[in-house]
Structure 1
Amino acid sequence: MSETVTLDRREGPYGEVVLRRRAEHYEIIANGTFLMDTSDGRSERLLIDAALAALPEQTRVGAAVLVGGLGVGFSLAHAAAEPRWGRIAVAEREEAIIDWHRQGPLASISGRALADPRTVILHTDLVEYLRTSSDTYDALCLDIDNGPDWTVTEDNESLYSAEGLATCAARLNPGGVLAVWSAQPSGDFEESLRNAGFSAVRTEEIPVARGVPDAVHLAVRPG
């Protein structure tokens, strides 16, 4: 087993966040809960690709996307590598994570994307931003928890409620796509999406080496 090295540890308004390195990979831990690492970014890239593919063809070029959670930067980097996105906003509430990307080890993943003129980093809590902002997007790609059934903080649970999903719909343009990353498929969340008025609800899965597959839940705001 490779030795795990703690590179930074911060106490913030939402608790402790830690950046660790194991061999050549980086890990982010929040309040003792493993969030993600750099060992396999397939599902984070799928989050972006599936959202774009689910958009109406006429809106794919120049589409605006909000990435919820900067994480290790895979989703942002993949979005910035796609020229069809016209505007890329990333909501991240942890100042430490933003620092690790701007002038820390994770800049190797996200540096080019952060320099892209289409990219803007919003230092804000995603749930609060969705609730209070009047900004709208063609796609919301959300990856702030280990899934709807396994949230990092209790406050995040409201995002997956009927009220939270209605808020997501309000931030989407007609025909816009909601994509939610999850560490496991959730039939209950699919039902919640349908009950919230979304259409074309489906789940794409990514097999992992051990355990249940990662999943991206997709839903469309009717036009």
Structure 2
Amino acid sequence: MPDPMSEAPHDRPVTLDRRDGPYGEIVLRRRPADDGGDGGDIHEIIANGTFLMDTSDGRSERLLIDAAQAALAPDRRDGLPSVLIGGLGVGFSLAHAADDERWGRIVVVEREQAVIDWHHEGPLARISGAALGDPRTVILHTDLVDYIRTETEAAEADDQPIDRYDALCLDIDNGPGWTVTDENAGLYTPGGLAACLARLNPGGVLAVWSAQPSLAFEDALRNVGFTGVRTEEIQVARGVPDVVHLGVRPA
């Protein structure tokens, strides 16, 4: 039996920051790369005890952005389409969008001040630093559900204009059926998806990251009016593939 005392301290995750906020506990941890890599450490975000994401592999986050760009209606690709990224996370999605000259305005909605701080002043700046300095980038410190659903429904009730995008790339949960907080579930209901549809320009794309595929969610997208609904898979080392659910607002 291995001696637990023989484990080197540097092999254990180290908590760099822990905060209690309006949505519960949010933690940033550092651990050594499993394969040694280039000697860099891996940073991971934990919310209320649930692992959200880490810096070990950004394929899922990059596919979220690329799949949305590819699914845009041809006329929406002209004139630098706008993209809203739901969730700053470890910054892979933002960095990838900013690296792509085909995107125009890039808006990121993040509700956790701690996450924003880790990018501006902490170790995650190595991923997002250049993107945060890009003049196309805007960070909104607000709750995505409020921004998408509550503000949209209020504007429609008062017959007021709303800010629309060519792509919504959402990655705030482990999937429609596995939310970080109960409040997020409202984003995946018919009302929440209808608000997403209203926030898109005609021919615009909704892309939703998930840890597993969901035929029920595909049906929900179709039921509120999305077309071209499909699911793209991202292979992972173990278990079922991660996926991106896609739907298009009819032109």
Instruction: Give 1:58 deviation, angstroms.
Output: 2.6
Which residue is equivalent to 2:205? 177
TM-score, normalization by structure 2: 0.88
- 1:104 aligned counterpart, secondary structure: coil
Which residue is equivalent to 1:72? 90
Which residue is equivalent to 1:212? 240
**Number of residues of Structure 1 aligned to a counterpart in Structure 2:** 223
From 11, 17, 22, give the equivalent of 1:8.
Answer: 17
Q: What are the residue-to-residue correspondences of 1:153-168 with 2, within 5 Å?
A: 153-168=181-196
Which residue is equivalent to 2:30? 21
Of the two, which has the highest radius of gyration? 2
Residue by residue over 1:60-117, the C-alpha shift from the partner in whole angstroms, topping out at 9 and shown as x without a partner, is 1410000000000000000000001010000000000000000100000000000000
Q: Is the 8 A contact 2:19 2:25 kept in 1?
A: yes
Counterparts of 1:199 and 1:105, CA distance in 2: 40
Instruction: Give 1:219 deviation, angstroms.
Output: 0.2
1:186 aligns with 2:214: yes
Q: What letter matches 1:65 in structure 2?
A: V
Counterparts of 1:58 and 1:25, CA distance in 2: 40
- 2:17 aligned counterpart, secondary structure: strand
Q: What letter matches 1:67 in structure 2?
A: I
Structure 2 unaligned spans of 5+: 1-6, 33-40, 153-161
Q: Is the 8 A contact 2:197 2:249 kept in 1?
A: yes
Q: What are the residue-to-residue correspondences of 1:130-169 with 2, within 5 Å?
A: 130-131=148-149, 132=151, 134-169=162-197
Structure 1 unaligned spans of 5+: none
Let me know the Cα RMSD of the aligned residues.
0.9
Counterparts of 1:221 and 1:156, CA distance in 2: 22
1:90 aligns with 2:108: yes
Moved over 2 A (4+): none
User: Which structure's residues are more often strand, by fraction?
Assistant: 1
